[in-house]
Amino acid sequence: MAEQYPFLSPDWMGAVARIRDEMPAPDVPALALMKMNLVVTGTPFDADVKAHVDTSDGELVVEEGHLDSPDLTVSVDYDTAKAVFVGLDFTVAMQAFMAGKVKVQGDITKLMALGTQGAAPDERAMAVGQAIRDVTAP
């Protein structure tokens, strides 16, 4: 079993980067191409986590820090972020958005495109997702 780390901790971010570097990249449909800054509040760490998600080159990149020119910035609480990014539970995301727990600045259509892709992820995307779940502490 893989060593597990708290979601969004520096060790988790490093493990996710290694997964991205070592596993075959999944196909990302053009509809999902975006640059998104992420602010995660209510973390078990000393401060909010600032990270970004970038799929603009066709590869899913999740790293610490913010991009200079994002398409959008999303602020979300830790539990919702974990449910979406690790659990892939987009129902939680929609409920949190409707409850005002998710704040979006910028091109919201880029975010909406993620939820409307419709196509099942390819085998490589499923393998990467499972590897990320495997390194994420409960």
Q: Residue 115 belongs to a domain with what CATH number?
A: 3.30.1050.10
Residue 118, domain member (yes or no) = yes
Structural domain includes residue 33: yes
80 in any annotated domain: yes
In a domain, 99, yes or no: yes
What's the domain count of the chain? 1
Distance, in Å, from the CA atom of 115 to the CA atom of 91, rounded to the nearest integer, reads 10
User: What pTM did the predictor assign?
Assistant: 0.82
Tens of pLDDT, residue by residue over 34-43, are 899 999 999 9
Taking only the tens place, the pLDDT of each residue in 68-114 is: 999 999 999 999 999 988 887 878 888 988 999 899 999 988 877 76
Is 41 among the domain residues?
yes
In the chain, the amino acid numbered 35 is: K
- 60 in any annotated domain: yes
Distance CA 95, CA 105 (A): 18
Domain coverage including residue 118: 10-130
